[in-house]
Amino acid sequence: MHRRSLLSGLAAGLAFPSVLRAQAWPDRPVRLIVPFPPGGSTDTIARIFQPKLSAALGQPVVIDNRGGASGSIGGIEMARSAPDGSTWMLAYDNEATNQTLLRLPYKALEAFVPISLVADGPLALVAHQSTPWRSLPELIAAAKAAPDTLSFASSGVGGLAHVATTLLQQQGRFSLVHVPYRGGGPAVQDAVAGQVPLFMSNVVIISQHIRAGTLRPLGVTTAGETRHVPGVKSFAQQGFPGFQAPTWWAFLGRAGTPEPIQARMREALAEALADPEVRSKIEEQGADVRATGPEECRQFLATEIERWGRVIREHNIRADS
């Protein structure tokens, strides 16, 4: 009887090797690619939930910062990784715009498997405290009076902040000079130092500087006002009807990763994001935890890729604009 049970177990293992792998997974540290340098919003959010995710998995989650090329270097690294559950990625909104603006060796919806939308929030256009502009109309008037002389920073070429600001310029008929950085961390350092007068960014990395008065918010990309930047009107409320461009972060795996491993990661991530301390810290930074299911995340990504791809094509927005 014992021999028969043993043989049955071996047969089941041969028939369902992914089940056995999932039962043993994770048996070593897990890598989480953050496709931006340390200090940016993606890195900040990843490090907020990282300890709880490690605890839920029972193995260390090691953050691997792979910044550059508007997040595409990290995306390419992720697309080349083995589909064995050893590597995951916290994607930023750039992943959607990159699909149209950049010539990538992969397609996101084919190379990656969505696990969960982690969080979303507003983008805000801020001016350094030393600048004279107290409102968006004042900035637009100054830009029209001296086209292509005022600079704005973003976390990289082709990111949502870049595309959204380009769309604002086209709709408002004014012109700024884009100064792309290798991520939000380096960009916010120069914005706070006054090296660049304007910065379009998610609120996560600039909220403390807004509260301190170093950076002055001129508008946000939500439909209306947001609790994360109280008292500041949206662009839609300031002469750009229907304008919306919320930022987001999504947890992705490699396509082909065995479903039992995906399910285990979904369970562990949901546990981490449900932790009150994690939720509170993310919200304090200027974002809202979403913690969706995989299908909702997939549909969201598909919608963002199509939506911003259409905007990019219709308005002839280029990676060098």
CATH of the domain at 178: 3.40.190.10
On whether residue 22 sits in a domain, the answer given is no
Q: Quick one: 150 and 186 in the same domain?
A: yes
Total domains in the fold of the chain: 2
User: Residue for token digits 């939500």?
Assistant: 222
Q: What is the pLDDT of residue 6?
A: 47
On whether residue 278 sits in a domain, the answer given is yes
Q: Quick one: 117 and 251 in the same domain?
A: yes
Q: How many Å is the Cα radius of gyration of the chain?
A: 21
Q: d(Cα 203, Cα 234) in Å, to the nearest integer?
A: 13
Domain that holds residue 225: 123-238
**One-letter identity of residue 13:** G
Specify whether the CB–CB gap between 199 and 217 falls below 8 A: no
Output the CA torsion sign for 269, 207, 240, 182: negative
Q: d(Cα 9, Cα 248) in Å, to the nearest integer?
A: 44
Q: Quick one: 135 and 195 in the same domain?
A: yes
Q: d(Cα 163, Cα 246) in Å, to the nearest integer?
A: 12
Task: Count Cβ neighbours within 10 Å for each residue of 33-54 and write b for 16 or more, e otherwise.
Answer: bbbbbebbbbbbbbebbbebbb
End-to-end CA distance of the chain: 73
Q: Quick one: 207 and 307 in the same domain?
A: no
Q: Quick one: 144 and 225 in the same domain?
A: yes
Q: Quick one: 186 and 267 in the same domain?
A: no
**One-letter identity of residue 73:** I
Residues in the chain: 321
Q: What is the pLDDT of residue 182?
A: 86
Question: Per-residue pLDDT for the chain (321 aa), expressed as one digit of tens each?
Answer: 445 544 444 444 555 555 555 678 999 999 999 999 998 999 999 999 999 999 999 999 999 999 988 899 999 999 999 999 999 999 999 999 999 999 999 999 999 999 999 999 999 999 999 999 999 999 999 999 999 999 999 988 888 999 999 999 999 999 999 999 988 889 999 999 999 999 999 999 999 999 999 999 999 999 999 999 999 999 999 999 999 999 999 999 999 999 999 999 999 999 999 999 999 999 999 999 999 999 999 999 999 999 999 999 988 888 776
Can the peptide bond before residue 122 be classed as cis, meaning omega within 30 degrees of 0? no
Q: d(Cα 39, Cα 45) in Å, to the nearest integer?
A: 10
- Of 20, 96, 72, nearest in space to 180 by CA: 72
Alpha helices (H) along the chain: 2-15, 17-24, 41-57, 72-79, 94-101, 108-111, 136-145, 160-172, 184-193, 207-212, 259-274, 276-285, 294-314
- Of 124, 113, 87, 102, nearest in space to 234 by CA: 124
Q: Quick one: 81 and 140 in the same domain?
A: no
On whether residue 9 sits in a domain, the answer given is no
Q: Quick one: 72 and 146 in the same domain?
A: no
Tabulate helix, strand, coil % of the chain (nearest 5). 45, 20, 35
Output the CA torsion sign for 244, 247, 253, 254: positive
Q: d(Cα 108, Cα 98) in Å, to the nearest integer?
A: 9
pTM: 0.88
**One-letter identity of residue 2:** H
User: Residue for token digits 């995710």?
Assistant: 53
Q: Quick one: 139 and 154 in the same domain?
A: yes
Decide which of 190, 220, 238 is a domain's last residue: 238
